[in-house]
Amino acid sequence: MPISINYHYLYRTNHQSKLTPNAMKISKFFFPIVLATLLLGLTQCDSIKNIEQNVNGRAVTFDLPPQAAGDYMVTQEISFNFDSLVSQFDLDLINLAGVKPQSATISIIDTSATPVTFDILDNVELYLESATIPARKIAYKDPVLHTGLITLALDVDNTNDILDFANANTVTIKLKAKLNAATDHQIQMKVAVQWHIAAEL
């Protein structure tokens, strides 16, 4: 905020006020101090503190009943509760300037006698959507390498800002996959996403 000081006015006012010599000395001594304090206070008021943090989102577990080979999709509606996630950094939703996926993993939970691995998938995609926001892909793996994994790290697009979802009360998480083999028993897939938040105070 620019400050304009009329030094001619100050000089004229000091002379017209008929200050005593001692008062003039005191005023000349304290005026620079008062001015410096004022400028420092205005600078601090105008400053913006930028904050960037990674925060773990709520894990979501999908139940997958026995399936035939081919395309498959499962959805789950959850409360995003992003306000509680950012409160640990003394932030409110209004402070957020951006929210982007930082990392994502999917784990298979299979307690059967014949547990499956991610070898049954050729590809997988993870989406967010809501009643008012179209579906948006946040993570994927294509192709899925068939190496016997039960936890799969997904690729994320960390330029994809989902701030509008963070401000939604509820969101739907959608998991789409292509099975290359049928499953004969129910399994679970647990999804965990870490978000990168940018905020201003």
Taking only the tens place, the pLDDT of each residue in 90-107 is 889 999 999 999 999 999
| CATH for the 50-200 domain, from 1.25.40, 3.40.50, 2.60.120, 2.60.40 | 2.60.120
* pLDDT greater than 80 at residue 43: no
Whole-number pLDDT of residue 3: 46
Q: Range(s) for CATH 2.60.120 in the chain?
A: 50-200
* pLDDT greater than 50 at residue 110: yes
Confirm if 152 and 23 have CB atoms less than 8 A apart: no
Whole-number pLDDT of residue 101: 95
Q: Any alpha helices (H) in the chain, and if so which ranges?
A: 7-16, 21-46, 82-87, 163-166
| Confidence band of 195 (pLDDT split at 50, 70, 90) | very high
In 3-state terms the chain splits into helix, strand, coil percentages (rounded to 5) of 25, 40, 35
